[in-house]
Amino acid sequence: MPLVRRTVTLDGGIVKNPGNYDVPAGTPIADLVEASGGYKGEPGKVIMGGPMMGIAVDRTSASILKINNAILMFDKAEAEIPLESACIRCARCVMSCPMRLMPTALDSASREHDIDSLREYNVMDCIECGCCSFICPAKRYLVQSIRDGKAAFRAALAAEKAKEAARK
Ligand code: SF4
Ligand code: SF4
């Protein structure tokens, strides 16, 4: 039997009836919310997945995927992203990283497009768990920055390979 249904946790301050719902894969998120009782007010942000690793999606067009286990919905105040400030070098991000990386160094390297440092600090080992961003007292956008760094690193690798292939 293929996986055609999914038990999804619908939660967040804006949802009238949070809970676990058994839905067919492909159900539009809007239909799930409507069937559950709707919103309490004006929705601000919808996260597909958990609070640490979930991604923001469009609540009007996104659907439940067979890998989904949670949909989180926040009002505008809850969804507000705090402003980041300068790193105070407290090292909490380093201590929280399950991959033993240096998020603060990766953040700097990503923002400076420093491919050598991204390589040196093993940017591709980041599993994007979000622990470093969560713990950071300066509210640095570490995961987003490291994600950008990974994309830049991948692009640099691809360019290196293309150059090598052209030389042969
Ligand atoms: S937790 Fe935040 S403030 Fe502390 S070292 Fe890491 S990036 Fe800097
Ligand atoms: S997001 Fe990446 S760098 Fe940050 S704690 Fe998780 S694995 Fe470490």
Q: Are 153 and 123 in contact (CB under 8 A)?
A: yes
> What is the DSSP code string of 78-105?
HHPPPPP-------HHHHH-TT---HHH
In a domain, 54, yes or no: yes
Total of domains in the chain: 2
- Residue 110, judged by CB atoms within 10 A of its CB (0-12, 13-18, 19+), counts as buried
Residues 22, 46 share a domain:
yes
**Mutate which of 129, 133, 136 to test ligand 2's pocket (most atoms within 8 Å of Cβ)?**
129
Q: What confidence tens digit (pLDDT) does each residue in 130-168 have?
A: 999 999 999 999 999 999 999 999 999 999 999 988 888
- Residue 131, judged by CB atoms within 10 A of its CB (0-12, 13-18, 19+), counts as buried
Ligand located closest to 89 CA: 1
Which CATH number covers residue 55? 3.10.20.600
How far is it, in rounded angstroms, from Cα 132 to Cα 145? 11
Q: What confidence tens digit (pLDDT) does each residue in 89-118 have?
A: 999 999 999 999 999 999 999 999 999 999
How far is CA 166 from its chain centroid? 36
Question: Whole domain around residue 19: which residue ranges?
Answer: 5-79
Ligand located closest to 105 CA: 1
In a domain, 160, yes or no: yes
Last residue of a domain, one of 79, 102, 122: 79
Residues 74, 99 share a domain:
no
Residues 73, 34 share a domain:
yes
Last residue of a domain, one of 28, 58, 79: 79
146 lines ligand 1 (CB under 6 A): no
How far is CA 24 from its chain centroid? 24
Q: What confidence tens digit (pLDDT) does each residue in 51-66 have?
A: 888 888 988 889 998 8
Q: Are 97 and 122 in contact (CB under 8 A)?
A: no
Last residue of a domain, one of 20, 55, 79: 79
In a domain, 134, yes or no: yes
In a domain, 85, yes or no: no
Residues 152, 125 share a domain:
yes
Task: Compare 124 and 50 and report the one with higher pLDDT.
Answer: 124
Q: What is the pTM of this model?
A: 0.78
Residues 96, 64 share a domain:
no
Residues 98, 161 share a domain:
yes
Residues 67, 102 share a domain:
no
136 lines ligand 1 (CB under 6 A): yes
Cα of 87 from ligand 1 centre, angstroms: 5
In a domain, 14, yes or no: yes
168 lines ligand 1 (CB under 6 A): no
Q: Which pLDDT score, from 0 to 100, does residue 104 have? A: 97
Residues 110, 75 share a domain:
no
For residue 114, the 8-state DSSP code is: -
Return the residue whose CA atom lies nearest to atom 2 of ligand 2: 126
87 lines ligand 1 (CB under 6 A): yes
Residues 100, 50 share a domain:
no
Residues 39, 103 share a domain:
no
Residue 97 CA: nearest ligand 2 atom is: 5
What is the spatial order of strands in the sheet that 19-24 belongs to? 19-24, 5-11, 70-75, 43-48, 55-57
